[in-house]
Amino acid sequence: MSALDDAKYEKHREAGRILAQVRDEAAERLEVGTGYLEISEWAEDRIRELGGTPAFPVNVSVDEEAAHGAAAPGDERTVGEQMVKLDIGVHIDGWLADTAVTVDFTGQTELVEAAEQALEAALEVVEPGVQTGDIGAEVEDVIDGYGYNPVVNLTGHGLGHWEQHTSPNIPNRAVSQGVELEVGDVVAIEPFATDGGGKVHEGSDEQIYSLEREASVRDRASRQALETIVEEFKTLPFATRWLDTPRAEMALRRLKQKNIVHGYPVLKEADGKFVSQKEHTIIVTEDGCDITTRSR
């Protein structure tokens, strides 16, 4: 049996099949007036119905937000006439798939298309031996051609076992120092296009966390939260609203202060401009790649 036929790759593929269906269905359901919490819980429940587990909380990032926007407990926000990025993940026994799509209610068709076509161009050049910097060059070239900028301080990434972000990074611009992709690599390629300068910075809102290290804690609520995190989420990102423990927000603050968990603040385009995104997960094969999150 070849390496690409073994059980872990089949679990990556199954995660991708579930995720492609949920992404497409969620994008179809999304409309002006849809609640952040409503679409997030719907997608996460749908993943479970289809036999997967959410690999991280559904990201609902709008307009200048590029990533890490997420529904808070009891969130009453609704989608307006905005540019919405849905970033969703699935795992099967810790083997992951990651995908994103932009659903636009602002009429900026070309900005959305720039990220989509940049991803297609990147996928065309994937094969064993290609340099990650060359993939970034394809992304940058397409987005530049539309008259926009790639977001240069966000990258695609490898996907490991119970690890959402591993090496190699897949840049969204040409870089001279890159890594050669090899058969069997599992990576997420995710171009971001913007009508701004092309950099993001951290905002103040933070609803997503992940485990940094295990440690003893005295506070009862923090200890209960940590037990849940270790048992249910391991090292994968989770949402505040996923913790069915007393005083979850306070417990997370204490765990963060002790460097037991770390947070993922919402990332915003530095000039306050719009951002679009498109993402697929792939497995590098001998003759190119298997796009696990492609619609069937």
Catalytic pick among 14, 63, 190, 195: 190
Q: Which two tokens stand for residue 20?
A: 């492609």
| Burial category of 259 from C-beta neighbours within 10 Å (exposed 0-12, middle 13-18, buried 19 and up) | exposed
From the candidates 44, 98, 138, 206, give the one annotated as an active-site residue.
Answer: 98
Q: Is 144 among the annotated ligand-binding positions?
A: no
Q: How far apart are CA 217 and CA 226, in angstroms?
A: 9
**With contact defined as beta carbons under 8 Å apart, do 134 and 102 qualify?**
no
Neighbours of 121 (CB within 10 A): 19
Q: From the CB of residue 123, how many other CB atoms can be counted at a distance below 10 Å?
A: 17
Which of 289, 275, 230 lies closest to 255 in space, CA to CA?
Answer: 230
Candidates 25, 165, 219, 271; catalytic one: 165
141 annotated to a ligand binding site: no
The verdict on whether residue 280 carries a ligand-binding annotation is no
Tally the residues of the chain: 296
Per the annotation, does 195 bind a ligand? no
Tell me whether residue 63 is one of the annotated catalytic residues. Answer: no
Q: Is 157 a catalytic residue?
A: yes
Active-site residue, 98 included: yes
Per the annotation, does 68 bind a ligand?
A: yes
What is 36-68 written as a DSSP string?
Answer: HHHHHHHHHHHHHHTT-EEEEEEEEEETTEEE-
Side-chain-side CA neighbours of residue 76 (13 Å): 0
> Active-site residue 12, yes or no?
no
Query: Has 185 been labeled as part of a binding site?
Result: no
> What dihedral angle (degrees, nearest 10) is formed by the CA atoms of 112, 163, 1, 293?
-20
Among the listed residues 63, 87, 138, 185, the single catalytic one is: 87
Q: Is 201 annotated as a binding residue?
A: no
Which residue out of 12, 91, 157, 280 is catalytically annotated? 157
Instruction: Tell me if residue 190 is catalytic.
Output: yes
10 tagged catalytic? no
Q: Which two structure tokens, joined as six digits, stand for 110?
A: 């070309």
Please, how many CA atoms are within 13 Å of residue 126, restricted to the half-sphere of its CB?
Answer: 27
| Binding site as annotated, residues for substrate | 68, 165
| Binding site as annotated, residues for a divalent metal cation | 87, 98, 157, 190, 279
| Binding site as annotated, residues | 68, 87, 98, 157, 165, 190, 279
* Active site amino acids: 87, 98, 157, 165, 190, 279
